[in-house]
Each structure stands twice: as C-alpha cells, then as structure tokens.
Amino acid sequence: MSRLDPRDPLVLDTRTLARRPGQLRSFERVAPAPAGLGLDVVKVPKGTDLTLEVRLESVVEGVLLSGSCRTRATAECVRCLDPIMFDLDLSVQELYAYPDAAAAAAEEIERLEDDLIDLKPVLHDAVVLALPLQPLCQDDCPGLCATCGARLADDPKHHHDEVDPRWASLQKLNLTPRASDEKKG
C-alpha cells in the first residue's frame, strides 16, 4: 500500500506513461504550498499558490520530471526587520527511478512509489536554493539604529552624541577654572 495519496495536488500519477521510453505527459495546475517550504526567516507560507507547469518523460531508468513553479515568498529584511514579499520563479528537474531499475540503488536518486511522484521534496529543494540568505527590503537599506532601534530610513539624519567610552571618565572632571586660578593668570 502506498503512503502517497494520488488525490494530493502535489502527487503525480505516471501510470499513463506505461514504462515506454519516449512517452511524454504534461501537467499544469495550481496547488497550495505545503508547510515547511523554506526556512524560518524566509519562506513560502503554507497555502500560498504554487503554479506548476511540469513535463513527465518516460526514460529507461524511470521518469524524468522537468518544469517550472511560480510562487510568492515572504521574509523579514535582515537590516530593518520590515516584512517583504517577492516572487519566485523556479526551475525543477529530477529523475524518479523505477524501484527495479539500476538507478534506484543510488541514494541521491528519488524513487517512484507505486507509480506516483511526490513533488514536495523537489519543490522544497528548489525553494530553499532560490531563497536569499539575507533578504533585504532594498539594496541600500540603512537598517536600525544600534543605540535606540530607530528605523534609519525614516530619519536619515538620526544620530546620537556619544562619547568614546575610553574618554567617558574625563566628563566627570570639573574643568571650570576657579576664581583663584583666574587671578594668577
């Protein structure tokens, strides 16, 4: 019994290819994104539309999947923490080996499961590789003030008069001239 549900929009049935090399079948569909597409800070939220255009081609060792996926990702700017959204246009290609094929012995090659293909792992890999490691709301985002946390894009002239901590103890000295010192001079 298969653990994959053929009714799941991210599961493709390859039985119509009938294990005849050269047979093709195309799929176009919009499916909701599963949970876990991305990383904690930048990801495709669960339920976001995934627009899939894929082609399945029967080859000697299994089924070759190739195509594209378009979706929308969300993140927080790493400098100012503002929420950002951006489009992702992904290319996917993966060989799914028949369980009895020689290629199925290789650990890095996905396998067909009861003639079904689960797109979740290949989509997860494509999304994670396409996401920026340090998302920015704009390339020149100035970020937040390190002292008070103010958003520097809102006030470009924002600053604090800070004394170098090495000289801070000198501020405690009373350097006002005394009246007796002024008479001497």
Does residue 88 carry a pLDDT above 70?
Answer: yes
Instruction: Identify which of 75, 89, 83, 78 has the alpha carbon closest to the alpha carbon of residue 127.
Output: 89
Q: What is the pLDDT of residues 94-151, one digit of tens each?
A: 999 888 776 656 777 888 888 899 999 999 999 999 999 899 999 999 988 888 888 8
DSSP-assigned letter for residue 106: S
Burial 102-112 (b: 16+ CB within 10 A, else e): ebbeeeeebbb
Domain boundary assignment for the chain:
11-130
Q: Which residue has the tokens 């950002």?
A: 84
pLDDT at 162: 77
Q: What is the C-alpha separation between 40 and 61, in angstroms, rounded?
A: 36
pTM: 0.75
